[in-house]
Each structure stands twice: as C-alpha cells, then as structure tokens.
A and B are shown apart, each in its own frame.
Chain A
Amino acid sequence: MQVQVSGVGKTYPDGTRALDAVDVAIASGDGVVLLGANGCGKSTLLKCLLGLERVTTGRITIAGVDIGRARRREVLRLRRSIGSVFQQFNLVGNLTVFQNVLFGRLGSDGLFASLAPTARPELRDRAVACLERVGLADLARRRTDTLSGGQQQRVAFARMLMQDAKLVLADEPVASLDPKAGREVMDLLFEIVRERQMTVVCVLHQLDFAVEYADRIVGLKNGRVAFDAPPAALDRAALDSLYDRAADSASARTEDPHVSIAEARAAATV
C-alpha cells in the first residue's frame, strides 16, 4: 500500500503544534522507521495515518484514499487493511488469546463472525494458523493478560495477520519489553512484514534496531522531516542534529546507551 503524506500539519486544540509540515512518500513494500526525540511528532503522525487524529493542514493519502476527507465508512474500510502494533499491545486482557486473534476480523466480517463461539470453521482454523505463525498455538485458550509482554505482542501480530493487513503502523513495539524479548519481537515483526510484502511504518527509540531493520529511516524534528535516507547514511552528524546534541559532547552520548550502540553500528556499516 502506498502512503503519501504532503504538507501535513497538526495543531491540537490546546495550541500545541505537534506537526508543522511533513512530506513523506512511502512506496508499497517499504520498511520505514520513524526516529526523533520525544515530542517531535512521531506518534502524532502515526495517529494521523490511522485517522485517529485529524490533520489540521495538508493531506494524507493511503492507497488513493484521502483519509482527512473520506467518509467514515471509507475510513473504516481502509483501516481493515491497516494493522496496528502498540507499545502496550492493546489486547482485551480478560478474553482468551484465540478470541483476541479472531478480533482481527471484526472490521471486515462483523461481530458475530469474529466471536469464538459463532465464528465459521474456516476463520477458526485461520486463527490457529496465525497463532502457529507467531509460535503461540499452544496458548490459544489462555487468558491474554496471563501472558508475558513479548507473548502479548506476538498475539497482537497474530491479530494483524488475521486482519490480512497490507500496511503496518507500529508505535514503539518494543518499548515495554526487555532487550531479549524486544529482539525476538522485532525479528518476528520484520520476518512477517517481508514474507507478506507488507508496507511498514515503525516508530522506534532504539537506534540499533532502526539501523538493523529499516530499509529507510525518516527522522522528525520539530514537526518536520529532518532526515530521510537509508540507514547507512545515518552517521553521527545526522544523529547529533536529530537529537539536538553538541557534536563532540561525550556526556550526552553516554547518557543514552542506545545511541552509542547505534553510533558504533552506524560507523561500522558506513
């Protein structure tokens, strides 16, 4: 799915200007990682892409649909093919894993087709297949809130597979996971994305992950695109400018372990 963001600005009702003028064109099958300091507008941009927030100026077109001006029904139809991944997984905690996966069909098949007792056998089989893909088929009957964070994020991926998403919008998918679970989750996410040829836009704070998984890195600063290039081009100068650090400030670097790791990797790949 193609995403076209042109001149997008977003001002919240309280006067906060989260996005100034963002221009990005994302081609089908692109793996984009969004970087930027806290408050640079990454999450706002993601919400605007989903149509959860309305843009103030400019326009966002996804697969030819202008989501700022489309009717609600059209937006709902578009959202069916957009999978979302959240920092806190956003699963319904006191339902089973199986039921949460089936909810991937809620948009396209409606309520009764997506409830575990009333779903058609094909959909139930598919839900099991999706759980198998993320390696959790044996946990199908467990209550979702009894799973670990990494497992819950994999359930969310299974829900996204069930949804048959073409575009994945991920908002800091590993922010609430430990490094080991974070790596497993990132590996799985990008495996799935690549094998299904999905387009992905992923907000990350971990620069080492960004450099490792992205085809292309888009850096936001003060509500504008400040960097847009393949990961190999993300050198120290670009990082310093993106995160507003003095170029030779050693203390700033040691405060943020992720940044120093990523710098090492970036230096190695250049």
Chain B
Amino acid sequence: MSASPKPAPPPRFETPSVFVWVVALAFLAFFIQGLIGANVNLERLLRGASNMGRFLGEAVPPSMDRLDVIAWSMLETLNMAIVGVTFGVLLSLPMALLCARNTSPHPLIRVLAINIVATLRTIPDLIWALIFVVAVGLGPLAGILAIIMDTIGFCARFFSERIEEIDPRPATALSAAGASRGAVVAGAILPECFPSFVATSLFSVEKAVRSAVVLGLVGAGGIGVELTSAMNLFRYKEALTIILVVLVVVIAVEQLAGAIRRRVI
C-alpha cells in the first residue's frame, strides 16, 4: 500500500461570501436604525411596565355593568365573521377554478384571476375596512365586506392549490364517458377537494373572528367599537371585561373549528 498523505478535514468555518456580508450588514444596519428610530431604551421600558401595572390596577376587577351590551356586540362580531366568510367562500370557489392550472379556461384568464386574488390578499383587512367605512358608512356592513375580501384572498389561493393537486384519473374517466367540462369539475374534482375546502374554510372562520374584533377599531362594527370607546373614556374595568370576553370567544371558536376539522378529514 502506498502511503498517501492523510486528507485534512475541511476548515471549521467557511469564509463568508460577499453576498453573505452584504445581507448581514444590511440587516444589522436596519436593526440598529429601527432601535434608534423607535427610541427604545431601558427608562421607557420601565415606565411602560409601571403604566401597565396602573392600568391593571384600575381595570381589576372587571366591571359587569354593561355585560349585556358587550355580549350583544360580541354576537355582532361573530355575525360579521360568519356572514363574511360564507360569502367569501362561495365567491372563492369560482375564483379558485379560474386560478387552478387544470381547470382554468385560458392561461390569460388564469393570470388575471391569480393577480386579483393576490391583490385582495396583500391589502390588509384593516385597510379594506377603512375603504368600506368610507363607501357604506360605519357599522357591521363595512366589516362584512372587508372580511369577504380577506377571505377570497386566503381561500381562493388555498382552494386552487388543492385543485391543482387532484388525482387526474377520475376526471379522465368522466370526460372519457362524454361528460362536459362543468360536469367533470362538479362530479370528480370538487368532491375530491371537499374535505380540504371545509378545513380551509374553518381556518378562515377563526381568522375572520380575530380580524372582526379589530375591524371595530376603525368603526366597522362589532366589539372593537366598544373596546375603543372604553379605552378612550378611560373605563379600564369595562375594557378588561371586553378583552376577557374576546379571549373566551376566540378560544371557543378555535376549539370548535378544530373539532369539526378532525371529523371531516
């Protein structure tokens, strides 16, 4: 056997490339500028903690005086979420069929539909709410419209991804038996996607309940309206009640949706 020199192990650390340097420096610069810009310092944080303590001291115990009003506006929030998601899901179905590669009637229509859905998704729900408050006035209708937009952005995308994943063979069998395109979609494609559509819609409900709470802050109806006015009038005991009610309802909705999802899939 010829004695070959023992190969050395690779260095413990590779020299970073120029790209890594640039990204790391840019990140560091952004981070430091962000800290300075937000004026983060220990003194403010300590003061913040004591203010938080004062808020809690004044808020506890939560006041039960206006519990009936709060309960009704919580119900309004849930209504907004359910109505908005229902319309959103119904509109997402045709949108998803236009977006999916295997069901879209034409590549141009597909690109157009994908871009519409992407736009709906990129604009945050709070901005939709601001726009609709201008358009239809204060109240739950603006919130419902905002949730519809948000739901289409979310559901149409996930629906169309699911449609693109289907097993093409049952659809081939139905079109081989002379079924029209629409009948193939309704007979083979939608049934296969149905469980996944239900699961996605339930996620959408959870998301919508959370966002419906916040939409009230800009006047789009629901419990958010009560929360802003309680905070603005320094009625911290009432604000705490509202926050607790929201917490309970959101957790309940998530548990319920999770239970339904487990049964469907």
**Pair from one complex:** yes
B182-206 near A? 1/0 per residue, CB < 8 Å = 1110111001101100000000000
Given A92-B192, A114-B187, also A163-B182 (CB < 8 A): no
B191 touches A94 (CB 8 A): yes
A114 to chain B: which residues have CB within 8 Å?
183, 187
A107 to chain B: which residues have CB within 8 Å?
177-180, 183
B187 touches A93 (CB 8 A): no
B179 to chain A: which residues have CB within 8 Å?
76, 103, 106-107
Q: Name the distance in Å between A124's Cβ and chain B's nearest Cβ.
A: 16
B188 to chain A: which residues have CB within 8 Å?
92
Q: Name the distance in Å between A190's Cβ and chain B's nearest Cβ.
A: 20
B173 touches A77 (CB 8 A): no
B93 on the A face (CB < 8 A): no
A188 on the B face (CB < 8 A): no
Within 128-158 of B, Cβ neighbours of A (below 8 Å) are at none
Q: Name the distance in Å between A264's Cβ and chain B's nearest Cβ.
A: 35
Q: Name the distance in Å between B264's Cβ and chain A's nearest Cβ.
A: 11
Bound CA–CA A108/B180 (angstroms): 10
A82 to chain B: which residues have CB within 8 Å?
176-178
Among B173, B178, B182, B191, contact of A90 (Cβ-Cβ < 8 Å): B173
B263 on the A face (CB < 8 A): no
Q: Name the distance in Å between B214's Cβ and chain A's nearest Cβ.
A: 37
| A84, A92, A93, A104 — most chain B CB neighbours (10 Å) | A92
A94 touches B194 (CB 8 A): yes
B182 to chain A: which residues have CB within 8 Å?
111
Q: Name the distance in Å between B179's Cβ and chain A's nearest Cβ.
A: 4
B178 touches A77 (CB 8 A): yes
Given A103-B187, A104-B177, also A52-B172 (CB < 8 A): yes
Q: How large is the interface on A (under 10, 10 to 19, 20 to 34, 35 or more residues)?
A: 20 to 34
B180 to chain A: which residues have CB within 8 Å?
76, 107, 110
Q: Name the distance in Å between A202's Cβ and chain B's nearest Cβ.
A: 15
Among B177, B183, B191, B194, contact of A79 (Cβ-Cβ < 8 Å): B177
Q: Name the distance in Å between A90's Cβ and chain B's nearest Cβ.
A: 4
Bound CA–CA A104/B179 (angstroms): 9
B194 touches A50 (CB 8 A): no
A90 touches B186 (CB 8 A): no
A76 touches B178 (CB 8 A): yes
Q: Name the distance in Å between A13's Cβ and chain B's nearest Cβ.
A: 16
Bound CA–CA A197/B170 (angstroms): 26
Smallest CB gap from A85: residue in B: B173
B191 touches A95 (CB 8 A): yes
Among A88, A110, A111, contact of B169 (Cβ-Cβ < 8 Å): A88
A79 touches B173 (CB 8 A): no
A54 on the B face (CB < 8 A): no
B174 on the A face (CB < 8 A): yes
B178 touches A84 (CB 8 A): no
B173 touches A93 (CB 8 A): no
A52 touches B177 (CB 8 A): no
A86 on the B face (CB < 8 A): yes
Bound CA–CA A92/B171 (angstroms): 8
A50 touches B192 (CB 8 A): no
A-B contact pairs, 26 of them (CB 8 A): A78-B178, A82-B177, A84-B176, A86-B173, A90-B169, A90-B172, A90-B173, A92-B187, A92-B188, A93-B167, A93-B192, A94-B194, A103-B174, A106-B178, A106-B179, A106-B183, A106-B187, A107-B177, A107-B178, A108-B178, A110-B183, A111-B183, A114-B187, A156-B173, A159-B173, A163-B177
Q: Which residues of B contact A (CB under 8 A)?
A: 167, 169-170, 172-180, 182-184, 186-188, 191-192, 194-195
Q: Which residues of A contact B (CB under 8 A)?
A: 50, 52, 76-80, 82-84, 86, 88, 90-95, 103-104, 106-108, 110-111, 114, 156, 159, 163
5 nearest A-B residue pairs (beta carbon): A107-B178, A90-B173, A79-B178, A80-B178, A106-B179
